[in-house]
Amino acid sequence: MSKVFVLDTQKQPLNPVHPGRARMLLSSGKAAVFKRYPFTLILKGRGEQPQVAPLRIKIDPGSKTTGIAIVNDTSGEVVFAAELSHRGQEIKKRLERRRGVRRSRRQRHTRYRKPRFENRHNKQRGWIAPSLESRVCNVVTWVQRLMRVCPIVAMSQELVKFDMQAMEQAEIKGIEYQQGTLQGYETREYLLEKWNRMCAYCSAKDIPLQIEHIHPRAKGGSDRLSNVTLACEACNSKKGTQDVRAFLATKPDVLRRILAQAQAPLKDAAAVNTTRWALYERLKALGIPLECGTGGRTKYNRVTRGIEKAHWCDAACVGASTPEHLHLSGVVPLLITADGHGSRQMCLMDKHGFPRTGPKQAKHVQGFQTGDMVCAIVTRGTKIGTYVGRVAVRATGSFNITTKQGTIQGISHRYCTALHTCDGYSYGQGEPLHPSPEKECLFPPPVLPDRGRKEAEV
């Protein structure tokens, strides 16, 4: 079950506690709510300082969603889990929209503007695109936040999605995982990611898939990844050693899609590979030991332990330090969505580029800003009641509050109490894990020999 973070009177992290224990501390007045997301208590009085158990934060970076898990290496307990959704595509769309507006403005017959290329300056070393920079900053921000409320002494990061060397040169000697066991996992995970975990011929999902050669090996086809796809047992048997063009003669659209996708690179994997070293360097700069792993190792750990596929579950399985037994029952992941801090645009424009709204008003009104989570207890008038939700401020001091039941308009700031300050993220609650058999295995996972396991742990 997800634990509750606890701080002492000096704001130093203590051992996370069970939610029942947290309710007792709150009801007895021994603690107060310090932060809503992640939910954190702060003790009001000095007591015995218990021995703090060291924890490890594990990260599974993704192009759209990053999994985060805090694990106790000794007991195998998952203390906290979260799924962080990035806004990289939204940033890319906004930059393209801004570029279009500027290009349109420069093409008009207006006052002379110097050519843009004369104003360019050299990019700094290590520069990455803004959409990718946002992903890195989101992960680092949340690692730092969790380090402030939890006794984290080590980190694990999935540095590479696929070990290309293990896939292309499996005959390399000297390391056990390069001799076949993890090599198979790297290849299968790559294919599952590239072909969207479905049969390439009939698009069937949630069924066992098999590795299938587009150009059959019986007719000279190679084992290169550009010639390999996924197929269900029925399609694989039906195709046999036929050429793919003959097999899909009546389905030209499917044939065109398969041939194009076989040569296409992984866009999401490219984004992860672009940011992996930038994220590695920034996490390493935090000053605690950092362990690295691959996507194949993550999948191997998850499958051999019989854990369901999820971003936060993948995070809990990152690296060779993963305990033999992970306790995931009852863990409810925190769903974090990056929304940004708003726009710096002073007013909205019409299609001709002229302002159609007034300039922005003050960002803070009576100590509140749009996006804050508040609790409003209205004691008189036609809107008597208690409302908890996000607030939209107005210069008049009459706010709108968005709750689960809808938007309540015209709530005075005098009735509002701040619960959580707007920090550029929105939050939700995920579903607890329900154990289920692995459906995406291409074939039953092999058992790593004892000798290989010992070498991997080293």
Average pLDDT over residues 79-106: 86
Residue with tokens 């074939």: 443
261 within domain boundaries: no
Distance in angstroms (rounded) separating the CA atoms of residues 320 and 317: 8
Cα separation, 146 vs 144, in Å, equals: 5
User: Is 370 part of any domain?
Assistant: yes
Tens digits of residue pLDDT in 172-183: 444 444 444 455
Identify the bridge partners of residue 376 per DSSP, sorted by sequence position: 387, 416
Look at residue 389 and tell me if it is in a domain. Answer: yes
What mean pLDDT, rounded, does the chain reach? Answer: 82
| Full residue range of the structural domain in which residue 400 is found | 363-423
Given a contact cutoff of 8 angstroms between Cβ atoms, the answer to whether 188 and 298 are in contact is no
Q: Phi then psi for 419, rounded to 5 degrees? A: -110, -40
Asked if the model's pLDDT at residue 230 lies above 70, the reply is: yes
Pairing of strands 5-7, 290-294: unpaired
For residue 374, what is the domain's CATH number? 2.30.30
Give the residue, 220 or 425, on which the prediction is more confident: 425
In angstroms, the CA 148 to CA 5 distance is 10
Question: What local confidence, expressed as pLDDT, does residue 323 receive?
Answer: 92
In a domain? residue 398: yes
Nearest to 60 by CA among 295, 285, 290: 295
pTM of the model as a whole: 0.74
Burial grade of 253 (CB within 10 A; 0-12, 13-18, 19 or more): exposed
Does the residue 59 lie in any domain? no
Q: Give the mean pLDDT of 413-417.
A: 92
The distance between the two most distant Cα atoms of the chain, rounded to a whole number of Å, is 83
**CB-based burial label for 367 (10 Å; 0-12, 13-18, 19+):** exposed
**Closest by alpha carbon to 430, among 90, 67, 142?**
67
**b/e per residue, 283-314, with b = 16+ CB within 10 A?**
beeeeeebbbbbbbbbbbbbbbbebeebbbbb
Structural domain count, the chain? 1
Q: Is residue 376 part of a domain?
A: yes
The answer to whether residue 281 scores a pLDDT higher than 50 is yes
Helix spans in 150-232 (H): 164-168, 181-194
For residue 254, is it within any domain? no
Helix or strand (DSSP H, E) at 364: strand 364-365
- What local confidence, expressed as pLDDT, does residue 291 receive? 94
Does residue 239 lie within any of the structural domains?
Answer: no
